[in-house]
Amino acid sequence: MKKAHYTGLIDRYRDVLPLAADCRVISLCEGDTPLIECHNIKQANERDIKLFLKFEGLNPTGSFKDRGMTVAVTQAVTEGSQAIICASTGNTSASAAAYAARAGIKAFVLIPDGKIAMGKLAQAMMHGASIIQIRGNFDDGMRLVKEVANEAPVNIVNSINPYRLQGQKTAAYEIAEALGQSPDFHCIPVGNAGNISAHWTGYAELAASSGKHVTKACGFCNGDCQFTGKSSISNRPKMLGYQAAGAAPFIKGSMIDNPDTVATAIRIGHPQSWDLAQAAVKESGGWFNSFTDEEILATQKLLATKEGVFCEPASATSVTGALHDMEVGNIQNGSTVVCTVTGHGLKDPDIAIKQSATEMLTIDAELDSVKRAILNNI
Ligand code: F0G
């Protein structure tokens, strides 16, 4: 049946998702996020590199987590779950809370006390999740969630839940559909390492189905829109996983116990999808790298001031890495590069205001003062 409008990624990608045909879909119309081509980034322009931002901050709760959550919560409801649980650095908790509200079930979220961004906390609270702050970090929360799920009737919706990764792979499908092929390089921030793994699954599936029609017709066109049957590709990107220097177990080559970074979303020392992420990078011919908080914040500012894209600090890590790898020649001139911009800047207003160099003027409410303020700053 034709739909009047876009109804979310399960409806669009159902034939590549492991869900029962008659399941009750829990969706907030997530996915279908814009792929924004950068115009004003000199490192790309000087090298004839096409640089795209896949702006996942424009999902319903402001991060890529919604892609995984719609599938994980739909499956949880299909299985009869009355409650879901997650550990989170913030975005997963916001998304779990929203989708649980939509489904009419309970969400329990374990968050590191004092270490999640205000916007994310506000979301979890507002959607009615039971918020459990722990005196510990994300990795402690993850351990506790796994333990408690053995003893209480709760369904884990962290990315160790395979339905999460299935949902998140759809971002790779959208990118391939938009570009008509995969990019040469896909740059992505790495924390718990689920998203890099999910993207690789998506690209690998598309390449394996080469020549075949993969996604179904979108359901609301005559079979000629961008969503229809275009998503098989012959190439796969190199996957580049970037971390914050203070939380970079993949660079160290082993887990770390006290991760720290201003990019609280990726303040993780014991990534759960370690093996999958290592395989994604290795099979694709990519690499990991890490960057300081100062470099990450500078990129966050650059994207906001030069491209009009406001993302949270963790999200800027992908672009920080891309710019670095362009400068040192690891990303060749003429390449096509996609950076996942994982979460919206409004998630973390404190950091944005703290680091903003814009001086706020306070003046008298009279024409002369306003005029002077403009002429002095033009
Ligand atoms: N960027 C943002 C904004 C995130 O919230 C996360 C993860 C990542 C990147 C890293 O993705 O874990 O798949 O490697 N946030 C999780 C959370 C851990 O709890 O919200 P990953």
Say if ligand 1 is within 6 A of residue 315 CB: yes
Cα angle value 170/263/286 (rounded, 5°): 50
More confident residue, 228 or 30: 30
316 class by beta-carbon count within 10 Å (0-12 exposed, 13-18 middle, 19+ buried): buried
Distance CA 206, CA 339 (A): 19
Atom of ligand 1 nearest to the CA of 192: 12
Q: What is the pLDDT of residues 300-357, one digit of tens each?
A: 999 999 999 999 999 999 999 999 999 999 999 999 999 999 999 999 999 999 988 6
For the stretch 11-69, pLDDT in tens is 999 999 999 999 999 999 999 999 999 999 999 999 999 999 999 999 999 999 999 99
Per-residue pLDDT tens digits for 246-275: 999 999 999 999 999 999 999 999 999 999
- Six-digit token string for 288: 């990991």
Q: What are phi and psi of 308, to 5 degrees?
A: 75, 20
Model pTM score: 0.95
Q: What residues have CB less than 8 Å from 72, skipping those under 6 apart?
A: 84, 99, 155, 157, 161, 163, 164, 167
Run of H or E including 134: strand 130-134
pLDDT at 213 over 50: no
Confidence of residue 3 (pLDDT cuts 50, 70, 90): low
Query: Ligand 1, atom 9: nearest CA belongs to which residue?
Result: 189
Query: How many Å is the Cα radius of gyration of the chain?
Result: 21
Cβ of 94 below 6 Å from ligand 1 = no
Q: Looking at residue 207, what DSSP letter applies?
A: H
pLDDT (mean) for 210-225: 51
Instruction: Tell the residue number behind the tokens 């994310």, with chain if given.
Output: 120
Residue minimizing CA distance to atom 6 of ligand 1: 265
Cβ–ligand 1 contact at 92 (below 6 Å): yes
Q: Which of 91, 312, 348 to mutate to test the pocket of ligand 1 (most atoms within 8 A of CB)?
A: 91
Q: What's the DSSP call for residue 56? A: G
Residue nearest to atom 12 of ligand 1 (CA): 192
What is the number of the ligand 1 atom nearest to the C-alpha of 315?
1
Residues 6+ apart with CB under 8 A from 327: 43
Q: Is the CB of 320 under 6 A from ligand 1?
A: no
**Alpha helices (runs of H) in 46-193, residue ranges in sequence order:** 65-78, 91-103, 118-126, 138-149, 162-168, 170-179
- Looking only at Cα atoms, what is the longest distance across the chain? 69
Q: Which helix (H) or strand (E) holds 372?
A: helix 367-377
The answer to whether the CB of 159 is under 6 A from ligand 1 is yes
Q: 120, 99, 71, 127: which is closest to 264 by C-alpha? A: 120
Digit-coded pLDDT (tens) for 271-301: 999 999 999 999 999 999 999 999 999 999 9
Decide: 233 and 210 in contact? Cβ < 8 Å. yes
Return the best residue to mutate from 108, 195, 273, 288 for the ligand 1 pocket (most ligand atoms within 8 A of CB): 195
Residue 107's H or E segment, with its range, is: strand 106-112
Backbone angles phi, psi at 156, to 5 degrees: -70, 130
Return the SS3 of 257. Answer: coil
Ligand 1 contacts CB of residue 61 (under 6 A): no
Q: What is the pLDDT of residue 27?
A: 98
Query: Going by CA atoms, what residue is nearest to atom 7 of ligand 1?
Result: 265
Q: CA 219 to CA 122: how far, in whole Å?
A: 35
Q: Which of 167, 225, 232 is nearest to 2 (CA)?
A: 225
Q: Tell whether ligand 1 has an atom less than 6 A from the beta carbon of residue 313.
A: no
Ligand 1 contacts CB of residue 117 (under 6 A)? no
* Digit-coded pLDDT (tens) for 133-188: 999 999 999 999 999 999 999 999 999 999 999 999 999 999 999 999 999 999 99
Kindly tell me the number of DSSP H helices and DSSP E strands found in the chain: 15, 10
Q: Residue length, the chain?
A: 378
At 258, is the secondary structure helix, strand, or coil?
A: coil
Pocket test for ligand 1, best of 159, 192, 288 (most atoms within 8 A of CB): 192
The phi and psi torsions of 287 (rounded to 5 degrees) equal -160, 165
What is the distance in A from the centroid of ligand 1 to the CA of 166?
A: 16
DSSP state of 360: P
pLDDT band at 223 (very low <50, low <70, confident <90, very high): low
